[in-house]
């Protein structure tokens, strides 16, 4: 157990990759956090191994890609949450292999929340490869939001309720 673990024990980590299932997972995580009095950490993983850049432009390309990924995460969270003020939601860009980084970041968290599929649907009818790896290796409970979950929409935070069921 590291020094950060006690702080993370009150945190719901949710993996966000821009897919509809991941946004439904974010919506569910915020509603759960509201009910349980927890914080949310929305994580997105940037894997520079998948970047292509011409020789000599690697550093600039990685920096530009990292900045773009950070902005995409910010926009995804802001677009879904809008004016939600009653739940603390942080964004964190991780770097490396997605499953390994999500598992590492969720260590000691109250739970990890994921959509059933990310940006690809290769090799599975319900759970993608990153999701399968996280379910197998995570050291905290993992909640998987099914593909038929309601649209990822949050209601006015002042009302304290969500329009979309889990």
pLDDT digit string, tens, across residues 123-166: 445 678 899 999 999 999 999 998 777 555 553 433 344 444 44
Please report the pLDDT score of residue 50 as a whole number: 74
> End-to-end alpha-carbon separation of the chain, Å?
32
In angstroms, the CA 134 to CA 100 distance is: 8
Residue 94: pLDDT band with limits 50, 70, 90:
very high
In angstroms, the CA 69 to CA 155 distance is: 26
pLDDT digit string, tens, across residues 75-88: 999 988 886 789 99
Question: Average of pLDDT values for 67-72?
Answer: 92
pLDDT surpassing 90 at residue 90: yes
What percentage of the chain exceeds 90 in pLDDT? 54
Please report the pLDDT score of residue 153 as a whole number: 52
Architecture of domain 12-96+140-154: 3-Layer(aba) Sandwich (3.40)
Mean pLDDT value across the chain: 81
Please report the pLDDT score of residue 152 as a whole number: 55
Q: Where are the domains of the chain?
A: 12-96+140-154
Side by side, the strands of the sheet bearing 39-46 are 89-95, 39-46, 11-15, 111-115, 142-145
Please report the pLDDT score of residue 155 as a whole number: 39
pTM of the model: 0.79
In angstroms, the CA 21 to CA 119 distance is: 9
What size, in residues, is the chain? 166
SS3 assignment, position 93: strand
pLDDT surpassing 80 at residue 58: no
In angstroms, the CA 104 to CA 15 distance is: 12
Q: Which residue has the higher pLDDT, 139 or 52?
A: 139
């Amino acid at each position: 157990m590291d020094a950060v673990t006690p702080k993370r024990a009150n945190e719901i980590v949710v993996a966000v990759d821009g897919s509809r299932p991941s946004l439904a997972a974010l919506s569910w995580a915020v509603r759960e956090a509201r009910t349980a009095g927890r914080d949310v950490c929305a994580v997105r993983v940037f894997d520079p191994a998948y970047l292509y850049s011409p020789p000599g432009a690697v550093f600039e390309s990685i920096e530009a890609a990292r900045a773009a990924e950070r902005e995409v995460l910010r926009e995804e969270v802001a677009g879904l949450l809008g004016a939600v003020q009653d739940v603390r939601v942080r964004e964190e860009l991780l770097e490396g292999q997605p499953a390994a980084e999500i598992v590492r970041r969720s260590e000691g968290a109250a739970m990890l929340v994921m959509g059933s599929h990310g940006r690809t649907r290769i090799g599975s009818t319900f759970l993608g490869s990153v999701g399968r790896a996280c379910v197998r290796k995570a050291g905290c409970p993992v909640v998987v939001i099914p593909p038929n979950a309601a649209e990822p929409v949050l209601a006015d935070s002042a009302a304290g309720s969500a329009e979309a069921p889990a």
